[in-house]
Amino acid sequence: MVNEAQTGAIAESDKAAANRKMLIQQIIRTLGMLPILILLGIGFQLMSGRFFSPNNISIVTQQAAINTVLACGMTAVILTGGIDLSVGSILAASAMVAVLGSLIPDAGMLGIPFALGIGLLFGLINGALVAFVRLPPFISTLGSLTAVRGVARLLGGDTTVFNSSLPFAFIGNGSIFHIPWLVIIAFLSVIATWLILRRTVLGVHIYATGGNENAARLAGIKVWAVYLFVYGFSGLMAGLGGAMSAARLFAANGTQLGQSYELDAIAAVILGGTSFVGGVGSVWGTLIGALIIAVLSNGLVLVGVSDIWQYIIKGLVIIVAVALDRFRSSGSART
Amino acid sequence: MQPQNDTAPILEMRGISKTFPGVKALSHVDLTVYAGEIHALMGENGAGKSTLMKILSGAYRADSGGEIRINGKPVHIDGPLSAKTLGIAVIYQELSLSPNLTVAENIYLGREPSVGGQVDRASMKAGCRDVLERLGAHFGPTTLVQDLSIAERQMVEIARAVHANARILVMDEPTTTLSSRETDKLFGLIRSLRADGLAIIYISHRMAEVYELSDRCSVLRDGSYVGTLLRQDLSAEALVRMMVGRDISNFYKKEHDAHGSRGKVLLSVKNVADGRRVKGCSFDLHEGEVLGLAGLVGSGRTELARLIYGGDQRTSGTIELEGKRIDPTKPIDAVNSGLVYLTEDRKGQGLFLDMTVQENINLGVVGRDAKAGFLDLGKARERALAAIKALSIRVAGPNVQVGSLSGGNQQKVLISRLLETKPRVLILDEPTRGVDIGAKSEIYRIINDLVKSGVGIIVISSELPEVVGIADRVLVMREGEIVGEVGGTSGVAITQENIIAYATGVAHTIAPAA
């Protein structure tokens, strides 16, 4: 038999090394995709020479703003193991309502609550389908993706609606202290989402439901309320995105607006390291994911890559980034 | 049959190490196994048994430096496929069959015979029939696996291994979910495989099984090889000493007042039934009492518990706690009135493995502690630290993921969560399943401390020594009914024999001991 003291010493040094390794891994996991975002930024700066100009940074963050807002809601949904495919359509319907509301004489600001309200309403319908009718999230939101798109077209009589004197146009075009309102709203959305997910009872219940629905039910968590909330929240965020979009464009079009936005939002969440089966992830990762997507779009234009190649490169970057992430944290990754 | 030490071993593992990020799971472990022997592998949870077997089966790769020899030849196992071709088969705790396929399809999975690119079902059927017959199976090759019981599914796994000409068969806690009759049958099967010259590595926590079955027994502790005992040297004391590195005296502690059954009635269950598997059960639980609920697997113990705490719906009956009707229809109703249930399925129904120890412990009370919906993280940390100390949960800190803990520590986290709601009655369903010996004795200590504080505890357990060891009184169930009572005021001694007599229907009444 081996000398006890000797094995003890070996175990101690092994443990110290293992602990160091774990600490490094933890740091890597916390940073997530941030290094990739920074590398992309540096790369585009080297190739174009103007990526990091204040003007361009402002453009990139504004480009990222609406997707970030949608992805905040999507993070909550995916944390429960679900998916919300309808956010692009809800955004279009909300933007229509925002512009139509803004045309009300002397009360044009009502466009904003209208947009938020209709987003929340559609979101709650999705939530009810998942929570009470027990439809799989993919199917119920696939249905609303199509149906709400129809509603968006119906709202404007299948035309583009305009308001050149939109009372809340400052949201889309103004800024305070040189920071665009769009960026401020997106950042506040991230903070609010983080607060909900990490600092409230509801947040604990969201992670618990996504991690183990059976155990959550047995522990007395109202799982139906969690589903209703996350889809409602996602709808609300899409409504906010609709108002932001209307404010930026002074117009809305039910057919084109928000097409395939849901895919960018999902990509941001996945790039951010949130597990597709639920229970693991953070909204800060989502923010970085949304920025990576915006940086790619912007940078590829700066460098002069053609539209077709932009698609191909964006898709590949998403696949490679997530594959790298899985490789890096192999064993614990469950995307 | 004794291992033939003069012949060469079929399997030699030498100096096997395995490092995971954060843990050294195995450190220079040796294992020698002969053909025609049943070799038990014992050790506490986290001792490295499963890791060692995963290296053997190719699921993990060992750190460089070790060596594996089969029939004296050094081999390189770099994946499940190479292990299979070397004749190594593993039967895991979670069976790895496809329930939607037939028995034959499962047995041939990955090796389907084909004629001109088409699966040759006729020869599959014929090929399976032989092996199924040899194992004494009562089902045919075209039965769907989802229609089989757990014991029968296990037999399919064994059939698959035998059919693939496995020479080394690893069984990881195969009896955990079997009734005693099924266990006996399995043991017979294992012995006949030994007679055919297979080497069987048998992992188990149950000492009784190891005595009954094994020719030799190797013990691991904290990732290191401790030693190997021959059959004639096996004893509980020696094994426990090797596994935990110290003696455990008074393994089952009944340190509380054993006359708890004469205290005030705490929980009164009257005529509870679900119209299917539970038929009119009535009993009382007293303050400071540990009430055992025994019976064979399938006798309705868990089903009765689920009716009591509102996990399933009663069709009749009432439940009173301290004289008040509670009649819970949802688990949360029971929790709110002071009755909690520890699930037998810790990972599936109990814990949130991705969440931290702190979050798991606080899950039942976050709502109560919160201010306007916002978490009180200070309070949560306080509760977690207190629970970690009180139940001696071995963990680096409250922010460690529960999934990374050993079974025993996971169980303690789950128990802590129940205790945070300050229950009056606890129903513990298989509280020590998949838990190592050290943690077992600590869970018994926790049970003792709780009943001393006046709580009433119902323990459901398939391990008779455990029921006999910790309960003040035992109710025995058979076919959905409470058919007997031992201990307490019944005058019948709490012994394994008496419980089995009731559970199997051998006895309908047992005369009180003089």
Same domain, B218 and B147: yes
CB contact under 8 A, A280 and B227: no
- What does the pLDDT look like over B319-357, one tens digit per residue? 999 989 988 888 888 998 999 999 988 888 899 998 999
CB contact under 8 A, B352 and A207: yes
Q: How far off is chain B from A265, nearest CA to CA, in Å? A: 24
Domain boundary among B215, B244, B273: B244
Q: How far off is chain A from B107, nearest CA to CA, in Å? A: 29
Q: Residue B498: which of B481, B480, B473 has the closest Cα?
A: B473
Q: How far off is chain A from B373, nearest CA to CA, in Å? A: 5
Taking the Cβ of residue A231 and every Cβ of chain B, the question of whether any pair is shorter than 8 Å is answered with no
Same domain, B70 and B182: yes
Same domain, B214 and B291: no
Q: Residue B205: which of B447, B451, B10, B432 has the closest Cα?
A: B432
Of A85-89, A205-209, B131-135, B165-169, minimum mean pLDDT range: B131-135
Q: How far off is chain B from A231, nearest CA to CA, in Å? A: 19
Same domain, B195 and B270: no
From the candidates B241, B332, B352, which should be mutated to test the interface with A, based on the most A CB atoms within 10 A?
A: B352
Q: From the list B351, B354, B367, which residue is nearest A201 (CB)?
A: B367
Q: Express as a percent the part of chain B with pLDDT over 70.
A: 93
Residue B442: pLDDT band (50, 70, 90) is confident
Same domain, B87 and B210: yes
From the candidates B336, B366, B399, B411, which should be mutated to test the interface with A, based on the most A CB atoms within 10 A?
A: B366
Residue A11 with chain B: CB contacts under 8 Å: 24, 27, 222
Same domain, B208 and B272: no
Structure-block tokens of residue B122:
């006729």
Mean pLDDT of A100-126: 92
B49 is in which domain, residue-wise? 11-244
User: In this structure, which amino acid lies at residue A25?
Assistant: Q
Q: How far off is chain B from A267, nearest CA to CA, in Å? A: 22
Beta bridge partners of B11: B33, B70
Q: Express as a percent the part of chain A with pLDDT over 90.
A: 54
pLDDT value of residue B253: 63
Q: How far off is chain A from B365, nearest CA to CA, in Å? A: 10
Name the residue of chain B whose CA is nearest to A218's CA.
Answer: B331
Give A 266-325 residues with CB within 8 A of chain B.
275, 279-280
Name the maximum alpha-carbon separation found in chain B.
77
Q: What is the 3-state secondary structure (H, E, C) of chain A?
A: CCCHHHHHHHHHHHHHHHHHHHHHHHHHHHHCCHHHHHHHHHHHHHHHCCCCCHHHHHHHHHHHHHHHHHHHHHHHHHHCCCCCCCHHHHHHHHHHHHHHHHCCCCCHHHHHHHHHHHHHHHHHHHHHHHHCCCCCHHHHHHHHHHHHHHHHHHHCCCCEEECCCCCCHHHHHCEECCEEHHHHHHHHHHHHHHHHHHHEHHHHHHHHHHHCHHHHHHCCCCHHHHHHHHHHHHHHHHHHHHHHHHHHHCEEECCCCCCCHHHHHHHHHHHCCCCCCCCCCCHHHHHHHHHHHHHHHHHHHHHCCCHHHHHHHHHHHHHHHHHHHHHHCCCCCCC
> Hey, where are the domains in chain A?
64-322
CB contact under 8 A, A10 and B27: yes
**Mean pLDDT taken over chain B:** 85
Instruction: Output the domain CATH number for residue B298.
Output: 3.40.50.300
Name the residue of chain B whose CA is nearest to A16's CA.
Answer: B22
Q: Is the confidence at residue B22, as pLDDT, over 60?
A: no
CB contact under 8 A, A21 and B21: yes
Residue B374 with chain A: CB contacts under 8 Å: 199-201
Q: From the list B226, B331, B375, which residue is nearest A218 (CB)?
A: B331
Interior CA angle at A181 toward A180 and A184, to 5°? 95
Q: How far off is chain A from B283, nearest CA to CA, in Å? A: 24
pLDDT value of residue A320: 84
Q: From the list B222, B349, B354, which residue is nearest A214 (CB)?
A: B349
Q: From the list A22, A200, A203, which residue is nearest B21 (CB)?
A: A22
Residue B343 with chain A: CB contacts under 8 Å: 215, 218
Q: From the list A10, A22, A207, which residue is nearest B22 (CB)?
A: A22
Q: Residue A190: which of A24, A98, A73, A304 has the closest Cα?
A: A73
Name the residue of chain B whose CA is nearest to A222's CA.
Answer: B332
- What does the pLDDT look like over B259-289, one tens digit per residue? 555 678 999 999 999 888 898 899 999 988 9
Q: Is the confidence at residue B499, as pLDDT, over 90?
A: no
Taking the Cβ of residue A219 and every Cβ of chain B, the question of whether any pair is shorter than 8 Å is answered with yes
Residue A208 with chain B: CB contacts under 8 Å: 352, 355, 359, 363
More confident residue, A114 or B367: A114
Q: From the list A1, A25, A208, which residue is nearest B227 (CB)?
A: A1
CB contact under 8 A, B349 and A215: yes
Domain boundary among B244, B272, B298: B244
- What does the pLDDT look like over A23-82, one tens digit per residue? 676 666 667 788 889 999 999 999 988 899 988 999 999 999 999 999 999 999 999 999
Same domain, B107 and B225: yes
- Element housing B225 (H / E): strand B224-230
Name the residue of chain A whose CA is nearest to B306's CA.
Answer: A218
Same domain, B140 and B268: no
Residue B359 with chain A: CB contacts under 8 Å: 204, 207-208
Structure-block tokens of residue B264:
């005030």
Residue B350 with chain A: CB contacts under 8 Å: 215, 218
Of B55-59, B67-71, B90-94, B288-292, minimum mean pLDDT range: B90-94
pLDDT value of residue A114: 94
Domain boundary among B204, B220, B244: B244
What's the CATH number of domain A64-322, 1.20.120, 2.60.40, 1.10.101, 1.10.3470?
1.10.3470
Give the Å distances, CA to CA, from A281 to A24, A85, B50, B81, B360.
19, 19, 29, 34, 17
Taking the Cβ of residue B353 and every Cβ of chain A, the question of whether any pair is shorter than 8 Å is answered with yes
CB contact under 8 A, A212 and B23: no
Residue B226 with chain A: CB contacts under 8 Å: 1
Give B 408-447 residues with CB within 8 A of chain A.
417
pLDDT value of residue A19: 64
Residue A279 with chain B: CB contacts under 8 Å: 352, 354-355
Same domain, B233 and B287: no
Name the residue of chain A whose CA is nearest to B353's CA.
Answer: A211
User: In this structure, which amino acid lies at residue B211?
Assistant: Y
Please indicate, yes or no, if residue B123 is contained in any of the structural domains.
yes
Same domain, B188 and B282: no
Taking the Cβ of residue A8 and every Cβ of chain B, the question of whether any pair is shorter than 8 Å is answered with no
User: In this structure, which amino acid lies at residue B102?
Assistant: T
Torsional sign, CA B445, B446, B450, B453: positive
- What does the pLDDT look like over B377-436, one tens digit per residue? 999 999 999 999 988 888 888 888 888 888 888 999 999 999 999 999 999 999 988 777
pLDDT value of residue A5: 45
Return d(Cα B102, Cα B140) in angstroms, integer.
Answer: 9
Residue B22 with chain A: CB contacts under 8 Å: 18-19, 21-22, 25
From the candidates A30, A80, A218, which should be mutated to test the interface with B, based on the most B CB atoms within 10 A?
A: A218
Please report how many Cα atoms fall inside a 13 Å half-sphere around the Cα of residue A254, on the Cβ side.
19
Please indicate, yes or no, if residue B362 is contained in any of the structural domains.
no
CB contact under 8 A, B366 and A220: no
- What does the pLDDT look like over B80-101, one tens digit per residue? 888 888 999 988 766 678 888 8
More confident residue, A193 or B65: A193
Same domain, B19 and B45: yes
Q: From the list A18, A218, A280, which residue is nearest B349 (CB)?
A: A218
Q: Is the confidence at residue A7, as pLDDT, over 90?
A: no
Give B 196-225 residues with CB within 8 A of chain A.
222, 224
Q: How far off is chain B from A215, nearest CA to CA, in Å? A: 4
What's the number of domains chain B is made of?
2
Residue A2 with chain B: CB contacts under 8 Å: 224
Of A50-59, A293-302, B50-59, B501-510, minimum mean pLDDT range: B501-510
Residue B363 with chain A: CB contacts under 8 Å: 204, 208, 219, 221
pLDDT value of residue A334: 39
Give the Å distances, CA to CA, from A143 to A96, A261, B51.
20, 16, 46
Same domain, B193 and B267: no
Name the residue of chain A whose CA is nearest to B224's CA.
Answer: A7
Taking the Cβ of residue B331 and every Cβ of chain A, the question of whether any pair is shorter than 8 Å is answered with yes
Number of Cβ pairs < 8 A linking chain A and chain B: 96
pLDDT value of residue A15: 55
